[in-house]
Amino acid sequence: MPVQIRIAQDPAADEVLSSDPFALLVGMLLDQQYPMEHAFRGPWKILDRFGTLAPDAIAAAEPEAFADLCSTPPAIHRYGRSMAGRVQQLAAVVRDRYDGRAEAIWTEARDTPDLLTRLRDLPGFGDQKARIFAALLGKRLDVRPAGWQEAVGPYAEDGSYRSVADVVDAESLAKVREFKQAAKAQAKAKDAAAKPSASSAASSAH
C-alpha cells in the first residue's frame, strides 16, 4: 500500500492497517457503535495477542478461546465477544472465496458494481459500510474503477469529512466525528418533529 493509513492514530496499529489488507477489512468491520480510531486498533490487538492476522488461522481458531482473546481488556470492541465471532466469519469468507487474500476483493473486482457486491456480501458489511470502504479504497489506496464516485455517492466527495475514508490525521478525525454527531442530532430532531404529527394524525382518525 503506497499510502500510510492513519485512522487508528497509533503508529503500531496504523502500520498494521497499512501493510495488511485483511487488517483494514477487520477495522472496517469493527467500526460500528464504537469510536472509529479504537475500532481500527482492533486488528493490531488481534495480531499482538493471536500472533497472526492470517485469515485461515483466524477462521480455524477455537471460537471461545478467540472470543476470550478479543474481549480481554483493552478489548477489540465494546462488544468484544460477539465481534470476535464476526471477525472469524469474515476470515472464513476471505479464506474460502478469495484464497486467503483480502486484497483480491478489490484487485480482482471486474468493475465498481462487482466491487460493491463483493463488499456487501462480507459478514457485517451492509450497503453503507460497503460504500464507505469503497471510498476508503478510492481515496487512500487509489482503487478507482470506472464510476466509483457516482456509485459511492457523497462518501467519495473530495474535501468532505463524512466517514473514516476522510481520516488522515487527528484534525480530520475530529472533523469526521463532528460531522457524524451533527448528522445524528439532525436525525433525532427529525424524529422528534415527526412524532407529534404522527400522534395528532392518529387522534384525528378517532
Express as a percent the part of the chain with pLDDT over 90.
Answer: 84
Segment 168-196 mean pLDDT: 87
Is 87 within 8 Å of 46 (Cβ atoms)? yes
Q: Please tell me the number of Cα atoms within 13 Å of 137 on its side-chain side.
A: 27
pTM of the predicted model as reported, rounded to 2 decimal places: 0.89
pLDDT higher for 185 or 84? 84
Segment 93-103 mean pLDDT: 98
Segment 42-53 mean pLDDT: 98
Segment 22-27 mean pLDDT: 98
pLDDT higher for 185 or 102? 102
pLDDT higher for 193 or 92? 92
As given in the structure block, the three cell numbers for residue 177 are 466525528
Structure confidence at residue 1 (pLDDT) = 42
Structure confidence at residue 205 (pLDDT) = 52
Mean pLDDT, the chain, as a whole number?
92
Structure confidence at residue 58 (pLDDT) = 98
Is 142 within 8 Å of 2 (Cβ atoms)? yes
For residue 180, what pLDDT band results from cuts at 50, 70 and 90? confident
Q: Identity (one letter) of the amino acid at 176? A: V
Distance CA 66, CA 50 (A): 8
Tens of pLDDT, residues 107-139:
999 999 999 999 999 999 999 999 999 999 999
Structure confidence at residue 197 (pLDDT) = 53
Residue of 143, 142, 117 whose CA lies nearest to 130: 117
Structure confidence at residue 202 (pLDDT) = 52
Structure confidence at residue 50 (pLDDT) = 98
201 pLDDT higher than 60: no
- Chain centroid offset of residue 156 CA: 15
Structure confidence at residue 128 (pLDDT) = 95
Structure confidence at residue 137 (pLDDT) = 97
Between 17-21, 121-125, 187-191, the lowest mean confidence (pLDDT) is in: 187-191
